[in-house]
């Protein structure tokens, strides 16, 4: 099923993606909680993720990189700010340098992931909040929305155990 809708709200500084999966809330939660499952879908096709650190606790860090088709690396980090298993996850999200440390020249974003049972399927709502309209526009121009759609489109395969 994957992504069923996206909505950019410049006034609210948010990007919302809604996806639906033919799996239980608990099963969908695992694609966030388990770093080996996370790296199977977090990067868009052609940019697989490698999770280097995944301390899945409030205050914990996730550090990862995505490797492009030419071997180039794009690094990122999360700091988990709220975890209410298996229904809600929040984290700050940003770019990292070659050492995996946060890049200070770009603001981080805040992501809130909500999982809910909808008639035996799971609806996952991802709301990314930006610090400014400029940041929202810059990341949109970098392909964030399409990359997120493509990445989430890979979750069905992970859920199927393929």
Question: What is the residue-level pLDDT of the chain in tens, covering all 162 positions?
Answer: 688 899 999 999 999 999 999 999 999 999 999 999 999 999 889 999 999 999 999 999 999 999 999 999 999 999 999 999 999 999 999 999 998 899 988 899 999 999 999 999 999 999 999 999 999 999 888 888 888 889 999 999 999 985
State the pLDDT at residue 76.
Answer: 96
State the pLDDT at residue 142.
Answer: 87
Distance CA 67, CA 23 (A): 29
What CA dihedral angle connects 79, 51, 162 and 84, to 10 degrees? -20
Number of domains in the chain: 1
* Token duo for residue 79: 């700091």
Residue 23 neighbours by CB under 8 Å, 6+ apart: 121, 122, 159
Q: Which domain holds residue 134?
A: 2-159
**pTM confidence score:** 0.93
State the pLDDT at residue 144.
Answer: 87
CATH number at 14 reads: 3.30.530.20
């Amino acid at each position: 099923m994957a992504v069923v809708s996206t909505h950019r709200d410049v006034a609210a500084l948010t990007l919302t993606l809604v996806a639906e999966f033919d799996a239980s809330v608990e099963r969908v939660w695992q694609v966030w909680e388990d770093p080996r499952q996370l790296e199977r879908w977090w990067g868009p096709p052609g940019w697989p993720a490698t999770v280097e650190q995944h301390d899945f606790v409030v205050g914990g860090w996730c550090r990862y990189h995505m490797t492009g088709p030419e071997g180039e690396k794009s690094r990122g980090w999360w700091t988990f700010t709220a975890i209410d298993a298996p229904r809600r996850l929040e984290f700050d999200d940003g770019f990292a340098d070659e050492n995996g440390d946060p890049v200070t020249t770009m603001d981080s974003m805040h992501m809130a992931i909500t999982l809910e049972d909808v008639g035996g399927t799971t609806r996952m709502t991802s709301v990314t909040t930006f610090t400014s309209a400029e940041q929202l526009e810059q990341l949109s121009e970098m392909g964030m929305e399409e990359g997120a759609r493509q990445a989430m489109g890979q979750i069905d395969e992970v859920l199927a155990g393929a």
